[in-house]
Structure 1
Amino acid sequence: MHFKKIAAETYMPISPAEVVVREYDKGRDKAAVEELERRCEVGQPGKPSLVTDLMGDPIARVRNFMSHIMLVAEYGDGRDIVGVIRGCIKTVTSGKRRSNTQHPAYVKLAYILGLRVSSNHRRLGIATKLVEKLEGWCTKNGAKYAYMATECKNQPSLDLFTKKCNYVKFRNPAVLVQPVHLHHKALASDILIIRLPPELAVTLYRRIFSNSEFFPKDIDRLLNKKLNLGTFMALPKNSLSNWNPKTCDLPASFAILSVWNTKEVYKLQVKGVSALTHAACLGTRVLDAIVPWLKIPSVPNFFKNFGYYFLYGLHMEGKDGARLMRNLCKFAHNMAVDDVDCRVVVAEVGQMDPVREAIPHWKKFSWDEDVWCIKKLGEASKIFDDWHKSSVSSPVIFVDPRDL
Structure 2
Amino acid sequence: MSSKKIVAENYKPPENPPAVVVREYEEARDKVAVEDLERQCEVGQPGHPTLVTDLMGDPVARVRNFDSHVMMVAEYGNGREIVGVIRGCIKTVSIGKRCPRTQLPIYKKLAYILGLRVSSSHRRLGIATKLVQEFESWSQKNGAEYAYMATECNNKPSLNLFTEKCNYVKFRNPTVLVQPVHLHHNPIPSDIAIIHLSSELAATIYRRIFFSSEFFPEDIDILLNKNHSLGTFIALPRKTVSKWRPETGILPDSFAILSVWNTKEVFRLQVKGVSVLTKVACLGTRVFDAMFPWLKIPSIPNFCKNFGFYFLYGLHMEGKNGPLLMKTLCKFAYNMGREDRDCRVLVAEVGQMDPVRKAIPHWKKFSWDEDVWCIKKLEEKNSDHWYKSQEPSPVMFVDPREL
Is TM > 0.5 for Structure 1 vs Structure 2?
yes
Equivalent residue for 2:114?
Answer: 113
Whether contact under 8 Å (2:95, 2:214) holds in the other structure is: yes
Q: Is 1:177 matched with 2:145?
A: no
Q: Is 1:157 matched with 2:155?
A: no
Whether contact under 8 Å (2:210, 2:216) holds in the other structure is: yes
Query: How far apart are the structure 2 equivalents of 1:15 and 1:249?
Result: 67
Whether contact under 8 Å (1:200, 1:248) holds in the other structure is: no
TM-score by length of 1: 0.95
SS in 1 for 2:13: strand
Query: How far apart are the structure 2 equivalents of 1:43 and 1:357?
Result: 33
Query: How far apart are the structure 1 equivalents of 2:34 and 2:17?
Result: 21
Shift of 1:101: 2.3
Equivalent residue for 1:255?
Answer: 256
CA gap of 1:17–1:78, structure 2 versus 1, over 3 A, is closer
CA gap of 1:217–1:10, structure 2 versus 1, over 3 A, is farther
Query: How far apart are the structure 2 equivalents of 1:36 and 1:274?
Result: 25
Deviations 1:202-229 (Å, cap 9, x if unpaired)? Answer: 1000000000000000000000001000
Equivalent residue for 2:50?
Answer: 49
Query: How far apart are the structure 1 equivalents of 2:371 and 2:390?
Result: 17
* One-letter amino acid matched to 1:292: P
Whether contact under 8 Å (2:172, 2:392) holds in the other structure is: no
Query: How far apart are the structure 2 equivalents of 1:261 and 1:380?
Result: 41
Shift of 1:113: 2.2
Equivalent residue for 1:400?
Answer: 399
SS in 1 for 2:270: strand
* One-letter amino acid matched to 1:386: H
Whether contact under 8 Å (2:18, 2:77) holds in the other structure is: no
SS in 1 for 2:353: coil
Query: How far apart are the structure 2 equivalents of 1:285 and 1:239?
Result: 40
TM-score by length of 2: 0.96
CA gap of 1:304–1:390, structure 2 versus 1, over 3 A, is farther
Query: How far apart are the structure 1 equivalents of 2:286 and 2:102?
Result: 55
Equivalenced residue count is 395
Q: What are the equivalent positions in structure 2 for 1:45-124 lying under 5 Å apart?
A: 45-124=46-125
* One-letter amino acid matched to 1:387: W
Larger Rg belongs to: 2
CA gap of 1:14–1:131, structure 2 versus 1, over 3 A, is farther
Query: How far apart are the structure 2 equivalents of 1:16 and 1:265?
Result: 38
Whether contact under 8 Å (1:14, 1:124) holds in the other structure is: no
Choose 97-106 or 254-263, whichever is displaced more: 97-106
Whether contact under 8 Å (1:144, 1:379) holds in the other structure is: no
Whether contact under 8 Å (1:144, 1:380) holds in the other structure is: no
Structure 1 segments unaligned to the other structure (5+ residues): 1-6
CA gap of 1:392–1:53, structure 2 versus 1, over 3 A, is farther
Choose 241-250 or 295-304, whichever is displaced more: 241-250
Query: How far apart are the structure 1 equivalents of 2:242 and 2:190?
Result: 17
CA gap of 1:284–1:390, structure 2 versus 1, over 3 A, is farther
SS in 2 for 1:284: helix
SS in 2 for 1:51: strand
Q: Percent identity?
A: 73
Deviations 1:114-150 (Å, cap 9, x if unpaired)? Answer: 1000001000000000000000000000000000001
Query: How far apart are the structure 2 equivalents of 1:34 and 1:12?
Result: 31
Q: What are the equivalent positions in structure 2 for 1:184-203 lying under 5 Å apart?
A: 184-203=185-204
Choose 82-91 or 392-401, whichever is displaced more: 392-401
Structure 2 segments unaligned to the other structure (5+ residues): 1-7
* One-letter amino acid matched to 1:96: K
Query: How far apart are the structure 2 equivalents of 1:292 and 1:14?
Result: 69
CA-based RMSD of the aligned residues comes to 1.5
* One-letter amino acid matched to 1:195: H
* One-letter amino acid matched to 2:209: I
Q: Which runs of 4+ in 1 moved over 2 A?
A: 9-17, 379-382, 388-393
Shift of 1:245: 1.5
SS in 2 for 1:322: helix
Q: Is 1:237 matched with 2:238?
A: yes
Deviations 1:125-181 (Å, cap 9, x if unpaired)? Answer: 000000000000000000000000011111111111000000000000000000001
Whether contact under 8 Å (1:92, 1:213) holds in the other structure is: yes
Query: How far apart are the structure 1 equivalents of 2:131 and 2:279?
Result: 39
Q: What are the equivalent positions in structure 2 for 1:212-361 lying under 5 Å apart?
A: 212-361=213-362
